[in-house]
Amino acid sequence: MAAFCPLALHTLLIPYLAWLVAPTLSYKPVIVVHGLFDSSANFKHLLEFINQSHPGTNVSVLDLFDHRESLQPLWKQVEGFREAIYPIMQNAGSDGVHLLCYSQGGLICRGILQTMPDHNVDTFISLSSPQMGQYGDTDYLRYLFPKYMKSNLYRLCYTQFGQTFSICNFWNDPHHHDIYVNVSDFLAALNSERPQPNATDWKKNFLRLRRMVLIGGPDDGVITPWQSSHFGFYDENETILEMKQQMVYRQDTFGLRSLDRRGAVAVYSVPGVLHTMWHSNQTVFKECIEKWLT
């Protein structure tokens, strides 16, 4: 029989005991909301990136309002996604969750953040989302409204019928700003660009966020102007006014300036990325997203 060696036992036990007392590294759940004409199937690369960099992360790529259903009015989509997200938030408890929202989905997520008084979102990542609206002759526009160009789409979008299409809910014609403010069911209301009975509560809800990350770039090809992804937009001469020049920032209508002055807004401008490639570009993930998902 081999002799008992206390030193050997001690050597074996040290790694085991260290494993028992070491803190378990855990990551906050990540909730992904897709954009126009997308579905959860479009985000397999993003899911792989998250699983590789943060193993064990609970990632929920929500499968709602897919494909043509994504044209449903945005307030209807906000309600549907909010119902799906709420149980995930509750399960996360005080640790909170991260929202990663692409394109049109970034506006849906803002609607959720502003209308949910008990959300526990830590970081909201807005990935190439038209946060200040859309105004451009893109392939999407020609596909959806072949008889219209950007200069006359307001004739459809700024009607009761037009506002039943999601893209019209954030169509922001800088040459017809007054009509937009009065008619826009979603974006003008969300921005509190007109008197809004819920404005104070919505601002308070938005400011529950710990951080907002804005990602976009000049070669996007769909978001027009691309600076809308950073809360910039055209004036009446189609000159770009950056985020801090926007009325919604200067008057802090929904909390954007307050969040920024807290140092809680991170902005990334990435050249060379087409609109449909943001969520499958590993460089974008590594440089703009990965570090925020802790």
94: left (phi over 0), alpha (psi -120 to 50) or beta: alpha
Q: What is the pLDDT of residues 214-262, one digit of tens each?
A: 999 999 999 999 999 999 999 999 999 999 999 999 999 999 999 999 9
Is the confidence at residue 265, as pLDDT, over 70? yes
- In degrees to the nearest 10, what's the CA dihedral of 180, 181, 184, 189? 150
Task: Tell me the pTM.
Answer: 0.90
Instruction: Indicate whether 15 pLDDT > 90.
Output: no
State the pLDDT at residue 140. Answer: 74
Residue written as tokens 């906000």? Answer: 78
Neighbouring residues of 231: CB distance < 8 A, sequence distance ≥ 6: 131, 132, 214, 243, 246, 248, 249, 256
Q: Two tokens at 176?
A: 């017809």
Element (H, E) at 214: strand 211-216
Please, are residues 232 and 226 in contact by the beta-carbon 8 Å criterion? Answer: no
Q: Over 70: is that where the pLDDT of 6 sits? A: no
25 band by pLDDT with thresholds 50, 70 and 90: low
DSSP letter for 33, please.
Answer: E
- Average pLDDT of span 265-292: 98
Q: What are the start-end ranges of the H helices in 57-186?
A: 74-92, 104-115, 139-144, 154-157, 166-169, 177-183
Residue 142 is predicted with a pLDDT of 78
pLDDT at 141: 77
Amino acid identity, residue 116? Answer: M
Identify the weakest region by mean pLDDT among 19-33, 153-167, 172-186. 19-33
For 267, counting Cβ atoms within 10 Å of its Cβ (0-12 exposed, 13-18 middle, 19+ buried), the class is: middle
Rounding to the nearest 10 degrees, give the CA dihedral for residues 277, 216, 34, 184: -140
277 pLDDT tier (thresholds 50, 70, 90): very high
Q: How far is CA 255 from the centre of its chain?
A: 16
User: pLDDT tens-digit profile of 81-109?
Assistant: 999 999 999 999 889 999 999 999 999 99
pLDDT at residue 18 is higher than 50: no
User: How big is the chain by its Cα radius of gyration, in Å?
Assistant: 22
Catalogue the active-site residues: 103, 220, 275
Query: Does pLDDT of 13 surpass 80?
Result: no
Dihedral sign (CA 106, 75, 33, 57): positive
Question: In this predicted structure, which of 2-11, 193-202, 254-263 has the lowest mean pLDDT?
Answer: 2-11
Neighbours of 95 (CB within 10 A): 12
User: In the chain, where are the structural domains located?
Assistant: 27-137+197-292
Instruction: Indicate the average pLDDT of the chain.
Output: 92
Of the listed ranges 7-16, 49-58, 89-98, 166-175, the least confidently predicted one is 7-16
**pLDDT at residue 153 greater than cutoff 90:** yes
Q: Which residues contact 129 (CB under 8 A, 6 or more apart)?
A: 35, 101, 102, 103, 104, 105, 106, 107, 216, 223, 228, 229
Cβ–Cβ under 8 Å, residues 275 and 38: no
Question: 17 pLDDT exceeds 60?
Answer: no
Q: How far apart are CA 63 and CA 292, in angstroms?
A: 23
What CATH code is assigned to 27-137+197-292? 3.40.50.1820
Question: Could you tell me the pLDDT band of residue 22, with boundaries at 50, 70 and 90?
Answer: very low
Q: What's the confidence (pLDDT) of residue 144?
A: 81
